[in-house]
Amino acid sequence: MIAFGSDYVAQNPLDFEVLTLMAEAYLTLRFVNEAETLFQILYTQQRSARTVAGLGLAKSSLGNFKEARTLFKEALMLNSDYLPAWSGLTEIHRYSRQDPVLKRLQRAITRNKRRPEVEGTLHYLMCKAMNDMGKWAQAWQHAERGAALLNKTNDPSGLWSWQTDQAAVATADLLAAAPQTQVDSEGLIFVVGMPRSGTSLLETMLSNAPGVFGCGELCFVSDVARNMSAGDIAAGREHASHAWLRDWSVESRAQVAEAYVSDLYARSGKGKYTRFIDKFPGNIICLPHISLLFPKARIIRMHRNPVDSCISNYLGQFAGGNTYTYNVDDLAETYAAYQACADTITPRLPNPVLEVRYEDLVGQPESEMRRILGFLDLSWDAACIAPEQSTTPCVTRSRGQVRSKISSKAVGRWRRYGDLARPLAQALDGHGIDIEDAGELLAAAGSARGAA
């Protein structure tokens, strides 16, 4: 793709629409330097809110926040309602009470009252602004308003069917007895977990170690799993099944594994790195597929207080998908299904697996990173506890957070929202999830009912 892009630019330097689409695709696929180069060309030759904001996103993904802020503000001068510019700026901006950017955001919400898709997203951005200023109740209210306007629906039943069928098919015997491919997988590291559980932070910290390349969120394994399972739906089944895993030949698996490794080398440069991190959280429901493709890959499963993790999902809008985050009940049920997938399959895996808690990672970063590096057969490097020094690109909404100094201020985040977080805690508890110290919310609810 990179070679094709370079050739196309050379042959069609004035095809600005295609060049913009290519630059956006590069950014999505995390070829950030290539995206920056194309957007820089577009910035000088075809300046628009879209291309200026695109260059800003490339800059912010690389940690160049000062330049990115300037570019986002310039894009908003060209189009005051351009959502990618607003989202990109808000991710890296720290709002304050007398902030002129805050006032512009308020005016944008007022201006778009008749455009629910736009207004809904702007409310999510205002949620982040309120959180920056410590206005927790108002932040929650803006997230609720954004969710109501965007009106996204989600049906968790398909995920539960996935979990149930996977648990029946992917037995320990199947995973252990499957003939192994000859594709070298010892250098592969899969970081899995619920979104907003610390996967981006861990990738940023680990990629500071010599010889480690952070690949970001690669949907490769997930796409393979869903596409193969979708054949059952095409054949008339109500939900996808995993029966095909029993007959997945070693030759077919080798082809898929080789394509994945080739993509890693295209991203990183063959021979430059010995470890590669894929931190796509959704791989938590694809653990059998990872094992059958890469039996020697190491897997790190991230954990975070369930209420804190779900709050972080609920109070921010994802760029695409994750529609379960718009509704507290769907969010709790999806969390439960994700954990059920991992809890069932993890003990069956022949792969080495390490369980890591976000709270330990930010609370005792050196001792925890020494433990993680030991699991990966890597030597200690003090740079691993200095994520603010990282040069690894980040294209998720965590881009404004993962390059900050390590802090434990997000631990126990549920306390900020008090009663507002209680329905979420109750929903998680209703699905059998141990909500740890956030159980105080349930106790408080019981006391209130008793008093009534």
Per-residue pLDDT of the chain in tens (452 residues, 90 and over written 9): 454 555 666 666 667 888 999 999 999 888 999 999 999 999 999 899 999 999 999 999 999 999 999 999 999 999 999 999 999 999 999 999 999 999 999 999 999 999 999 999 999 999 999 999 999 999 999 999 999 999 998 999 999 999 999 999 999 999 999 999 889 999 999 999 999 999 999 999 999 999 999 999 999 999 999 898 876 544 445 566 889 999 999 999 999 999 999 999 888 877 789 999 999 989 999 999 999 999 999 999 999 999 999 999 999 998 777 899 999 999 999 999 999 999 999 999 999 999 999 999 999 999 999 999 999 999 999 999 999 988 888 888 778 787 889 999 999 999 999 999 999 999 999 999 999 999 999 986 654 333 33
> Which residue is it, tokens 């149930």?
164
pLDDT value, residue 229? 83
Determine the residue type at 346. Answer: T
CA–CA distance from 152 to each of 323, 329, 380 (Å)? 6, 13, 45
pLDDT value, residue 400? 77
pLDDT value, residue 274? 92
Q: Output Rg (C-alpha) for the chain, integer angstroms.
A: 22
Where exactly are the structural domains of the chain?
2-150, 157-400, 413-451
Q: Which fold has domain 2-150?
A: 1.25.40
Q: Are 60 and 68 in contact (CB under 8 A)?
A: yes
pLDDT value, residue 126? 98
Residues linked to residue 190 through DSSP beta bridges, in sequence order: 278, 299
pTM reported for the whole predicted model: 0.91
pLDDT value, residue 438? 95
Q: Any residues with CB less than 8 A from the CB of 298 and at least 6 apart, and which?
A: 188, 189, 190, 351, 352, 353, 354, 375, 376
Q: Give dist(CA 369, CA 351) in Å, integer.
A: 20
pLDDT value, residue 41? 93
Q: Give dist(CA 131, CA 416) in Å, integer.
A: 10
Helix (H, G, I), strand (E, B) or coil at 278: strand
pLDDT value, residue 5? 55
pLDDT value, residue 268? 87
Q: Are 362 and 413 in contact (CB under 8 A)?
A: no
Q: Give dist(CA 401, CA 388) in Å, integer.
A: 9
Phi-psi region of 444 (alpha: psi -120 to 50; beta: other; left: phi over 0): alpha
Helix (H, G, I), strand (E, B) or coil at 145: helix
Which pair of tokens denotes residue 354? 């390490």
Task: Note the CATH architecture for domain 157-400.
Answer: 3-Layer(aba) Sandwich (3.40)
pLDDT value, residue 452? 35
